[in-house]
Structure formats: structure tokens, C-alpha cells
Amino acid sequence: MTSAAIYGCHGHRLTAEEKAFFADARPWGFILFRRNVDSPDQLRALTDELRDCIGGDANTPVLIDQEGGRVQRMGPPHWPKYPPGATFLKATNDPLAARELARLGGRLMAHELKDVGINVDCAPVLDVPVPGAHDIIGDRAYARDPETVAQLGRAVAEGLLAGGVLPVIKHMPGHGRAFADTHKELPTVHADLEALDGWDFAPFKALSDMPIGMTAHIVFTAIDRKHPATQSKKAIRMIRERLGFNGLLLSDDLVMNALSGSLTERAEKSLKAGCDLVIHWNGVLDEMRQVAEGTGKLKGGAKRRAEAALARIVHTPEPLDYREARDRFDAMLAGQLDAAKGPDVAEA
């Protein structure tokens, strides 16, 4: 029976201990990081190995954070470097051209991810920074206003979906006001509900049709003064009802210092609050065993949402001439090509 968890692994290949743990724990999926990435052949072998140890289903989710900029797990020399989200609008200075560029970037990423067996990308970032906010989001944000963030975020998501990779919208209900890094401490946001609704929530409302979302480890005093959104029933009800998100909801990483208590307690609290799945991504086996103690079976609404998300994977990707599309993407970034005159990716 599948458990409500997503785990990382330690290195380039699985150890015998990891294989035995995964076979017993039966996670819904896996997540990879730079420590797991060496070459295309190695990465394909690893994703095959991960799937094989829990039954060999080709649809088993394998996730990665491939945004571009500071957050890009697959990069040179085997894969091209992508710019941070803020670059799309800066490179074109034209919202229509920026959307084409963002979609093309998503489509190219999907091609590269699918080639090595990865079918879920933890992107796009839909957070909208405010002046003075911590730089943990910074240039990862597509713009500094909710409408443009929503437009460019949807373009990236559509590019990923067209290439057979599921996007994950993050970090719900919004990370843009955080004045601290959740990897290190728990931020508290004091904005009132009206301000949150008009700014932070807006891009997530606009993309509420996406298959998967990820929570933020942030306290929003207007919603719940005691608990970060990941572990707040009130915040997750807000995500479901006010933001209109009915997709699969993942926790952000349980290891982050924004959360407190044992890893078992962190998993239990997140799932009890309404997260469908929890993520533990550092690959430390003893820690994964602790998470497993607090993680039950994937069932009920969570299971239905997980099945619905996987049903969104396109198994015959939109046609792509990769080399032509890559050259066009690079030229658009360099300002050498009018995006409006470029052929649509679907026709390439």
C-alpha cells in the first residue's frame, strides 16, 4: 500500500539499505537533488532503480526542483543553464514575448527531464515579493506584481505539461512576504486578509486548476496565529476554499528549521492539517525512518487527488525540434529575435 510520503536518496545510485527501506515504506514518489545528479546515463539509471524498488511502475512520480537560476539541480556540462524567473520579462520588456519565452523554457525543461525519467518539476514559483522581503524568493519570482506572476507562471506550467511533466505551484498560500528564510527559521506574516487576498493569493487562484501544489512553512497571523500554513487546518482550508485549489497538496521539506518537533511529529502534524503528502528530501536514511513512523497510507481524498494528478501526465508530448527550440530560446534571451515572429513550439 502506498504511503503518503516522498523521499530523497543519498547519492548517484541506491544502496541496498535504501532499496530495502523504499520497498517496505512504499512512498508515493521520490525527489532528486544536485547530489543525485552526475550524467544523463547515471540519472536514467537512478530513476529506473527508484521505480523498480517499489514495483517498477513507469508513472511513479520522480520530482526535482528545476526552476532555473539559483534553483537548478540539472545543469552544465550535461544540461543547459536556465535563467531565473525574473529574466523572462527583463529579456523581452514585452509581456506577450515574455510569456512565449517562459512557455518555451518550460517545454525545453520538460524535454530534458522526461529524457532522464523525471516526470514532476517543482515549478513554477508563484510567490510575489514585497519590498524588503527576504531574498530567498528574490529573482525566482517572475515579476513584482500578481498578474504578471500568474501569466508567466501559467506559461511555464503549460510548457511543462505539454512535455509530459507535471508542474508544482509553490509556495501556497504565498511566500513573497516572508522576511526570513524558512530553511533557517519560521517567518511570520502580519498582513491582513484583504492584502493577502489581493496580492499573495492572486496567482494561486489564477492557477488553481494545476495538478499539484506545495505549501509554505510560514505563519499568517490573519489565518492562524499559532501554526505555519503546512501544519494549519485553517490555512489548508483557505487553500482549498478561498484559493479554489482542489489538486494534490504537498508539504514543503519537513527538515526545514521553520518546523519544530521530531520528524515523526512534523509528518503527523502536516498530514493531520490537510497536506496530502509530506516531503523529506535530504536522503538521510535514519531520518526517513522517523518520517515513515508518522506517515500513514495514502487514502481517501488524498489518494483520489494523487490519481487525478498522475492522470494529467501527457504520454505523447507536444512535438518539439529540440535544437531549433533551444537556439530560439537562447536568441530570445539575448534579444536577437522578435518573439512574436517565432514559430509556435507546437509547430516546431
* Residues noted as catalytic: 183, 252
Q: Which distant-in-sequence residues (6+ apart) come within 8 Å of 35 by Cβ?
A: 10, 11, 283
In 3D space, the residue among 210, 198, 118 whose CA is nearest the CA of residue 156 turns out to be 210
Instruction: Using CA atoms of 16, 18, 20, 21 in order, give the dihedral in degrees to the nearest 10.
Output: 160
| Helical residues (DSSP H) of the chain, grouped into ranges | 16-25, 40-52, 87-92, 95-115, 146-162, 193-198, 202-206, 233-241, 263-273, 285-293, 300-310, 322-333
In 3D space, the residue among 47, 29, 8, 40 whose CA is nearest the CA of residue 211 turns out to be 29
CA distance 95 to 214: 26
CA 99 to chain centre: 19
CA distance 139 to 143: 8
Omega of the bond leading into 124 within 30 degrees of 0 (cis) = yes
> How would you classify the pairing of strands 120-121 and 277-280?
unpaired
- Transcribe 13-52 into DSSP letters: S--HHHHHHHHHH-EEEEEE-GGG-S-HHHHHHHHHHHHH
